[in-house]
Amino acid sequence: MTTPRAFITGVGGQDGSLLAALLLDKGYEVVGVLRREPSAYAEALAPVEGRVTLLEADLLDHAALVASLRETRPTEVYNLAAPSFVPRSWDEPIVTAEFAAVGATSMLEAIREVDPGIRFYQASSSEIFGEPRETPQTEQTAPSPVTPYGVAKAYAHFIAGSYRRKYGMFTCCGILYNHESPLRPVDFLPRKVSHAAAAISLGLEDELVLGDLSARRDWGYAGDYVRAMWLMLQCDQPGDYVVATGVSHSVEELVACAFDAVSLDWREHVRTDSALFRGASELHDLVGDASKARRVLGWEPEVGFRELLTLMVEADLARLQAPAASS
């Protein structure tokens, strides 16, 4: 049997690096695409260092993608590269559309040109549901994105489906809900909270300032979600899958779990500031129904909400106590 070979764009990000580690464990050869020098992604790539072939390429450089595929001959492509911080897509709507929407098309075209038999995973997102038509959302829920990020991801979602229908390509979209890990940047709320809980417990910071504590999200663990990506490409038939826990939690619950992990009462350390409240254009009750993933892929999340926050806080404590501490 030939060794399976995966080609991962965005391998320096949270999901890319966790997916690379998972696939290496499964005996894959892994090729990872970065758009900057590998040292820019040192922390995420440390666990797979020396075991992944790294290439520098931009998703919009179609010729470079074609050359990379010809050179590395993957059996599976995971397209994870995209700007991923939703609020920033309002500041960078053009770049977001270029990379998240056109970049996915560019990758699909490169595959079609080099080997249409390559299996393709597209990192779709719950943000395609925007202001959802129903709760919880399923693969049948009509997309109605409201942010530039969600609109661009919806384009990528549809084009991956179009290539499946028109060219018979094996394309799968994972409609992933928020998933976190210690690799999340501190711009993202769960990591902002885990970092602050750790720093306050060590006496390094005094308080945490947040927006709306009643806002709710369906948060899961990234390690569980990259496993779903792999499972999709092992199926007999391509398809789209919601990947979610099915349970939403408030920001207040998240904060309480993180501060519990360091035995502190969050009420003594957290202040809210209405300037940090997200507008109606970003506040929606997104909860996913992952019944199809459970039924067809046999997928189950293994790390629960409290466990996720505990592992994130513990990772932040370890970082802050390391000799050259950084966030």
Q: Is 178 in the site for ligand NDP (CB under 6 A)?
A: yes
155-181: buried (b, 16+ CB within 10 Å) or exposed (e) per residue? bbbbbbbebbeeeebbbbbbbbbbbbb
Catalytic residue among 29, 76, 127, 180: 127
Is residue 241 annotated as a catalytic residue, yes or no?
A: no
Element (H, E) at 218: none
Give the span between the Cα atoms of 229 and 299, in whole angstroms. 10
Q: Is 83 in the site for ligand NDP (CB under 6 A)?
A: yes
Q: Is 99 in the site for ligand NDP (CB under 6 A)?
A: yes
Of residues 148-177, those binding ligand NDP (CB under 6 A): 176
* Coil/strand/helix, residue 264: coil
Which residue in the set 24, 35, 144, 315 belongs to the binding site for ligand NDP (CB under 6 A)? 35
From the CB of 130, what's the least distance to ligand NDP, in Å? 13
Of 77, 90, 68, 84, which is closest to residue 126 (Cα–Cα)? Answer: 84
Q: Is 81 in the site for ligand NDP (CB under 6 A)?
A: yes
The alpha-helical segments, DSSP class H, found in 39-147 are 42-45, 62-72, 93-96, 103-114
Q: Is 10 in the site for ligand NDP (CB under 6 A)?
A: yes
Q: Is 82 in the site for ligand NDP (CB under 6 A)?
A: yes
Q: Is 16 in the site for ligand NDP (CB under 6 A)?
A: yes
Is residue 127 annotated as a catalytic residue, yes or no?
A: yes
Name the β-bridge partners of 174: 123, 241
Nearer of residues 125 and 171 to ligand NDP, judged by Cβ? 125
3-state SS record for 155-167: HHHHHHHHHHHHH
Binding site for ligand NDP (CB under 6 A): 9-10, 12-16, 35-36, 58-59, 80-84, 99, 103, 123, 125, 176, 178-179
